[in-house]
Amino acid sequence: MAKIQILNPNDQPTGKWRLINELRACLVSDDYDTLLMAVAFAKTGPLLRLNAELELWLANGKKIASIFGVNHRNTSRQALQFALENFTSAHVLFHSDDFTYHPKMYLFIGRQKCKFFIGSHNLTVGGTETNWESGTELSLNLPEDKEMFAEAMTAWDSLFAFSAQLSPELIREYQIFGKLSDETEPRRRPAAIQPADGSAAPKSAGPPRLKLKIKPPSPLPKGLFTGKSSKKVTAASKKSATQKQTPSPVSTEALVIQIVPHHNGEVFLSKIAVDQNPDFFGYPFTGRTTPKKPSNPSYPQRDPDPIVDLKIYGDSATPVVHLPRLALNTVYYETKSEIRITVPPEVVRNTPALSILVMRQAPDDSDFDYEMEVFPPTNPQFTDYLAVCNQTMPSGGSANPRRMGWL
């Protein structure tokens, strides 16, 4: 008999239940040999996080077929390219921007068992991990539940009949006509709307936010980073005409790293992180430091200083320090191969050793380059972000080496 489970929308942002974990479990299961995905919007975030399981699935002779939509530029060129290069079958369904292709179906099929996820979950990091999403999980046994299985297959076949087979030429055509997003481009915030009565916009920080602990998404696998240049472009680097960007297949949103502030205000980041994703940091730096003593060496320095919105948290969700427009001095000390930033004394005083720094690229239309949040070990968010840190940095003799990871 079919088992139907209603998915609670609150479970995904809090981490109690997440679609990506269910997809991973099905991909490694011997119960299924075919995966059919009909999804409105797709990005590479979930695909990269599931890449090892997808490779093993395909290596075992199992099949993956997809029908992605391209409405409203919510599917990326990179996601279509991934599907074209890796899936058994890749299709696109597009009629016009007036009529949106909007299903979200993940159908795992086996000889005796099937598991279907049908709801609001797009194939994005938000859709599979952090957004409020609703839907149903259906577990079928064959041939007992053959009628419900037939209904699901009819739904899939009806979409397949109106889809177009994906090809390099079709991807180029959609790109030329502006139907695809590019994951290398900085994020953009929706433009603020002025009140219709002509009154001034409120000066508050925006609409009130829910007091809910949101669990961060899972980290990008460390094996994705080869030390080659990334094609992610920061807001600062886009504004600087002197900085050149080199493409790479991995797009990142944020660096998560443990930090140890020094009494002089210096905080060490990670040259490993810079080597993995140089464009995230605007590296190589184009400026040079001016030594206090002429005999001292000059070092590469990011120029101009990136502007950051820095928040330091204590034990609660309210920042104890907020520096909304901090010019972050960033220097590469070549002799020791160290990347260091300099922060004000109030940051040092309120940041215990091995706190977590989340360094997130700001949207393209922001007047700053990074959103930076620091969570001490006593903060409720600390443990979740520490779990993102799937790489260990050189210890330098310390018994407790720092850790880092990428979102």
First-residue to last-residue Cα distance in the chain = 40
User: What gap in Å lies between CA 42 and CA 385, rounded to an integer?
Assistant: 25
Distances (CA, A) of 112 to 136, 141, 144, 169, 345: 20, 6, 9, 39, 64
Contact 219, 358 (CB under 8 A): no
What residues does CATH 3.30.870.10 cover in the chain?
A: 3-176
Contact 151, 114 (CB under 8 A): no
Per residue, the 3-state secondary structure of 226-280, as one string, reads CCCCCCCCCHHHHHCCCCCCCCCCCCCCEEEEEECCCCCCEEECCHHHHHHCHHH
pLDDT tens digits for 40-94?
A: 999 999 999 999 999 999 999 999 999 999 999 999 999 999 999 999 999 999 9
Tell me how many degrees the CA angle 233-237-241 measures, rounded to the nearest 5.
120
Distances (CA, A) of 160 to 91, 110, 119: 8, 20, 19
For the record, the structure tokens of 208 come out as: 């009130």
- DSSP per position, 320-384: EEEEEEEE-EEEEETTTTEEEEE--HHHHHT--TTEEEEEEEPPTTSSSSEEEEEE-TTSTTHHH
CA atoms within 13 A on the CB side of 285: 23
Q: What is the pLDDT of residue 231?
A: 39
Verdict on whether the full-model pTM lies above 0.95: no
Check if CATH label 3.30.870.10 holds for domain 3-176: yes
User: What gap in Å lies between CA 93 and CA 166, rounded to an integer?
Assistant: 10
Q: What is the pLDDT of residue 233?
A: 37
Cα 336 off chain centre by: 31
Q: What is the pLDDT of residue 209?
A: 56
pLDDT tens digits for 203-230?
A: 555 556 556 788 999 999 998 886 544 3
CA quadruple 243, 244, 250, 252: dihedral, nearest 10:
10
Beta 391-392 vs 370-375: how paired, if at all?
unpaired
Which residue bears the tokens 């859709």?
127
Rounded to 10 deg, the angle between the 77-86 and 168-176 helix axes is 170
For residue 217, the one-letter residue type is P
Q: What residue ranges of the chain have pLDDT lower than 50? A: 228-248
Q: How many residues does the chain have?
A: 407
User: What gap in Å lies between CA 404 and CA 281, rounded to an integer?
Assistant: 15
Instruction: Kindly report the CATH number that applies to the domain delimited by 222-406.
Output: 2.40.330
Q: What is the pLDDT of residue 251?
A: 83
Q: What is the pLDDT of residue 155?
A: 97
What residues does CATH 2.40.330 cover in the chain?
A: 222-406
Q: What is the pLDDT of residue 54?
A: 98
User: What gap in Å lies between CA 40 and CA 226, rounded to an integer?
Assistant: 31
Q: What is the pLDDT of residue 194?
A: 65
